[in-house]
Every structure is written in C-alpha cells, then in structure tokens.
Amino acid sequence: MTNWWGLIIGSLAAALCEYIFRIHKGPYDQIFPLAMMLALITNYGVFSVMQGASSLISGLLLWTFLTQIWRVAFTLFILHESPTVGAWIGFGLVIMAQISQRIWK
C-alpha cells in the first residue's frame, strides 16, 4: 500500500525545489537551507513510495507520474511557459507507461 500523503508531499517538494532553482537568480548559498529542507522531504516521499510499491519499476512510475503532473502545473500556471513538443511527448510516454503498468499487472 502506497503512502499517498508521502507521495503527494514529496513530489510537490521535488517540483517546488526545481521551480525555485529555475527562478532564483542569485548564488546557491542563498537558497541552500530551503533546498536542503525540500530535499529531505523529497527523499521521504521517494522512500514512502518505494516501501509501498510492489516493485521498483512500479514505484518509479508512480513517482515520475506525479512529479511530472506537478512540473506541468508549475510550468503552465506559475511560470507561464509553454513546453516544447518533445516535452509533451515525454509526458505522454510517462502517462502511457503508468496506464500500461496498471493494465498488465
């Protein structure tokens, strides 16, 4: 059984950390404490997903699926950027992998 709160909070922390890295214009040492806190939360999220997954690949697909959702949301609604066609194709492939993994258990 997957720890859904760990998955949601961990993947949100991963996407938030990437967002902060994207918008921050100063040196890394200014955001180091925040990055460390987000990294710890992200690591707990990965741990909780892998502990509850039936296999390493299924846990990885679940983690990747939700972090991709957060990344798309941050890109479209907060950064107001438009992803490239290749990024959309990659996102579609991750979704297809998640669907096929659920269908062929």
pLDDT tier at 2, thresholds 50, 70, 90:
low
Inform me whether the pLDDT recorded for 105 exceeds 80. Answer: no
Cβ-in-10-Å burial (0-12, 13-18, 19+) of 42 comes to buried
Do residues 9 and 41 make contact, with C-beta atoms less than 8 angstroms apart? yes
pLDDT in tens, 7-59: 999 999 999 999 999 999 999 999 999 999 999 999 999 999 999 888 888 88
The residue count of the chain comes to: 105
Q: How far apart are CA 38 and CA 53, in angstroms?
A: 22
Cα separation, 44 vs 40, in Å, equals: 6
